[in-house]
Amino acid sequence: MQGYVDCHCHISAGDFDKDVEEVIENSKKAGLLALLAVAEHSREFEKIIELSQRYPGFIFPCLGVHPVQEVSPEQQRGACLQDLDAALPIIEKYKDQLVAIGEVGLDFTPRYVKSDTDKENQRLVLIRQAQIAKELDLPLNVHSRSAGRPTIQLLKEQGVKKVLLHAFDGKPSVAMEGVKAGYFFSIPPSIIRSEQKQKLVKQLPLENICLETDSPALGPEKQVRNEPKNICVSAEYISKIKGVSLEKVMELLVNASRVHISHRPIGGHVNRSRADV
């Protein structure tokens, strides 16, 4: 099946409340077959499940606690174990519908971690969620910022096998440690304005690459709302850097994405539109 899978997207974000239907329609027109709706905190879990039920076979739910938690729009802090208290019962409730645990990870940006204790708290939150992913046999959808090496190291120590590192900001040499462990890396449309991501894609084997948009963030243009339809921007850029046709990129990357949606059948809308005809 030709098309794209958006392996990391915040479709439950308030930015899409007004026009989510149109955003989804436009993404389908751009060739999107499926998207993974990742969570940042437990308060949006039910919304993600509802969206996945509204678009079956197209929106796939992932629940998890992000390493950075919002106290208010102006204030954010690193995650701690208490943040899991509200999340775990909801994950348990919907475990059979989930395709991954995410978005989880480590974020050692100085404004979120003031001390070693803050880093340790994030580690504990990630370790617990890594255990849950293993128990449920689900992949982890992982964020790492200023923490590429410690994230990959922790996941390896925990014996996590199915990993997608989204918008990885580390060095290609660190990413290659992930490749050795069989980990995948998803590339957002911001690649067209990020030298670091361009270098990363040059080094990564095509077999370990997936696509994402991280909508509404990481779009091709700074400060402009990103949408899942921009997935083709990443694909076209990868095809250019790797010197491989767009068709081949689609084929390989859709196959690579299947691991991260727990091998569920994708492209529900394609079947539906055929039935409509």
Footprint of Zn ion (CB under 5 A): 103, 214
Nearer to Zn ion, 213 or 239 (CB): 213
| Min separation Cβ 254 and Zn ion, Å | 21
Which residues, other chains included, contact 59 with Cβ-Cβ below 8 Å and sequence gap of 6+? 11, 24, 34, 35, 37, 51, 52
| Min separation Cβ 169 and Zn ion, Å | 12
| Min separation Cβ 143 and Zn ion, Å | 6
Cβ–Cβ under 8 Å, residues 123 and 106: yes
Nearer to Zn ion, 214 or 227 (CB): 214
Nearer to Zn ion, 68 or 154 (CB): 68
Q: How far is CA 48 from the centre of its chain?
A: 14
Nearer to Zn ion, 104 or 250 (CB): 104
**10 Å Cβ neighbour count for 80?**
16
Rounded Cα–Cα distance for residues 277 and 124 (Å): 51
| Min separation Cβ 109 and Zn ion, Å | 14
Query: CA gyration radius for the chain?
Result: 17
Nearer to Zn ion, 107 or 214 (CB): 214
- When CB distances to Zn ion are compared, the closest residue is 214
Strands 75-78 vs 100-107: parallel, antiparallel or unpaired: unpaired
Nearer to Zn ion, 6 or 155 (CB): 6
Cβ–Cβ under 8 Å, residues 181 and 154: no
| Min separation Cβ 116 and Zn ion, Å | 25
Rounded Cα–Cα distance for residues 143 and 169 (Å): 9
| Min separation Cβ 168 and Zn ion, Å | 12
Nearest to 257 by CA among 162, 174, 180, 170: 162
